[in-house]
Chain A
Amino acid sequence: MATLVVLLVFALFIGAILTGGYNKQMIERFRSHWLWEWLTTVDHKKIGVLYALGGGFFFIFGGIEALLMRIQLFFPDNHFIVGRDFNELLSMHGTTMIFFVAMPLLFALMNVAIPLQIGARDVAFPFLNALGFWLFFAGALLMNLSWLFGGAPDSGWTNYVPIALNEYSPGTGIDYYVLGLQIAGFGTTMGGLNFLATIINMRAPGMSFLRMPLFTWTSFVASALVLFGFPPLTAGLFLVMFDRLFGAQFFEVALGGNPVIWQHLFWIFGHPEVYIVILPAFGVMSDVISNFARKRLFGYTSMVFATLLIGFLGFMVWAHHMFTVGMGPMVNSIFAIATMAIAVPTGIKVFNWLFTLWGGKITFTTAMLYAVGFIPTFVMGGVTGIMLSVPPADFQYHDTYFVVAHFHYVLIGGTVFGILSGLYYWWPKMFGYTLNETLGKWNFWIFFIGFHLTFLIQHVIGLYGMPRRYFTYQAEDGITLFNQISTVGAVMMAVGAILLVLNIFVSYRQRESLVAGGDPWDGRTLEWAIPSPPPVYNFAQLPQVRALDCWWHEKMEGNKEMEPAEPLESIHMPNDTPLPLIMSIGFFIAGLGLVFRAFEVGIVGLLVVIVAMFMRSFKPDHGYHIEVEEIKATEKGA
């Protein structure tokens, strides 16, 4: 603790020396810096970019962790990374990829696209939006600090007790997990709430629910799942936190506790979580496929209802992760049937995508390649999902590489392909220039082939009796070659990912020649009706929506722009504010304090949060207005 204080004072000294001490100019200099604008922004487009940067940053960590594991598994009885170190890698890989990569990257797309798709000037609660991002970042950073101070969590991303309790995991690893996820979870819950409120309240005139683009629809359902799915996780994390920090003994059998309770709480969250990350990806696919087939989505209404049904059933099936816990044949059968039922709405979706393509005029841009590559990949992940829903068969698959293969097929083949498709699709909307298509295609093919090389063979590895989370296997198991193929595939995926980074870099250098107008893809939905990147207020006048695929509808009618639904008036905008950042720093300090059992530091951190909340509540902040002249000038420039 003393070290921390010394470091803090030292940092203040350095700061004072470099800035010439505290004075008013210094604050001005801070405020005029470009970084300050990003740290305090409440603009949904900028927050979307921040989410993308955050998710991308942690993707590097998750990816390196995966590669290290695959290197260890290249040879039987390898001694590269074994024991607890390997457990730390697998725990952090899973946790990072789900909470700090998939979720923020989807939130990035949701932030960028949803307000534009429904014709809104921002989300319903811009302040909450910024807070959500900074909390996610604080939580993710806290958990990744564990690599440097005290060791990473080592009980899997599922964090089963009792292995996650003090007795069996005595370091600080699990404390990082418990506190990092709570902080990030606050942020995610706020994000979900915000998108629900936005989609319900802020749709443009004429944008009825059944005219919303499918990405907005699936994000809407996913947000509802966030709202109901995260509380059980928080409850579970609280129990583990109290157990570890204060010796609560919730899970101690001798005291009447029950370790299986954690598994239920975790999976009541965990299964909806699967749909939280896959549904928005479904939405991206639907929009991209319809766009590049130049056809309206086949069976739009049934797609919407299939989404709702998947969201609903997603809460009814959690125990299929626990068939081997010994819940008895009745419970197992009920959850097996409920799980199988999900195949029906998912099948509806797949066939509707296929029949959207049917009769269309398909253009294979990179975004479309990812969307098209998604269909067979996801179907393969889906059919193994049905196979896993058969309890006696699951007794064989459960916790083996077969399961690893299955969920990577849906999480990479579904979610990651969806995210990458959306990234290529909306990139011009975010930055005003497209990504390089040649490099994009290289990126797709190498990533796609590498992915199948890595994970197809893992089905076999599982059936040959290799459980997941094993840091080694023996030569006599006869799975050496399979594991080597899988590792080669993983390296190929890494090359694919590097190509994406290279593409972003190259495209930025070439942005003059890649410049995109408002509508580079001959789009159908509302976001393509405005300039790229959109002005800060998005729509000078809110548009009148007259059909599904409203922008396409107007183009077919021969109109050059959407018909305005209101006269040109001054626009009310929210002020930027550093409070979300300050609150998150408070939470971060509190989290770090609790990890190291320095409760006074924890209290200081929470005080920072409370003071910031007080300032937010009692300091009037009415925002500002953009006047008509300024809007006219901006619109002319664009």
Chain B
Amino acid sequence: MTTRAINLRIGAFLVIVLSAVALLSLVWTPYDHTMLSVTEKFRPTSAAHWLGTDQLGRDVLSLLMAASVNSLAVAFIAVGVGGAIGTALGLTASACGGWVETAIMRLADLGFAFPALLFAIMLAAAFGPSLSNAILAIAFINVPIFARVARGAANQIWTRDYVLAGRAAGASQFSLTVEHVLPNISAALIVQATIEFAVAILAEAALSYLGLGAQPPMPSWGRMLNEAQTLMYLAPQLAIYPGLCIIAAVLGFGLLGDGLRDVSDPRLARGRA
């Protein structure tokens, strides 16, 4: 088995497990993750609490499971919204060319120059910290990324003879974009989306860690890390578990994205006759 097949498999495995756990947590968790219990504080691993309990007596496994939904949902919405807007902008730039293309891409450069964290802090300062503002900030950083990827890939497709044949047939720029360009760059976009998914999960964790994302009582791996850091010597496992979850999620989507990229590389996918 080649390295890239291994990457793809490990990535796919992690992503599938994570998604399954997240789906499961929607209908079942061992305990209610909001249930506090003064008597059950800092319990170690046991048959009743597989991963023990935290400083408020909540079941850690339940918390982690519930937080996984939060993580995936944030990444899904943020990458979806940012990716859709970015792709539309990139396709527009590529189809129009000229000053429209220049204007859109310079705006994208401007977006790149703006750190997501800074933007999130700005939003928090203006509208108060909330998960929706965190989503907005993560979506915002995805717009220029997808604009660039879409435009670069689309520019390649525009030079193909079949697009020219479409023009000769009389198809408009819009229908050429929808019928030829978008389907033929979809592989590149899916790969990028998978990789950005990993980045978004990390960003959500970072923002929640800073208190700019999920607000209590909404569970979040980032906030669990934050709450655990003062207890590092007392109960290091409270920081380790969410940390491992973040690593697994980021690694999973990262490897899956890399693997998909390798597989979708047209030079490897099909040799020309």
Q: Do A and B bind each other?
A: no
**Interface residue ranges, A against B (CB under 8 Å):** none
**Interface residue ranges, B against A (CB under 8 Å):** none
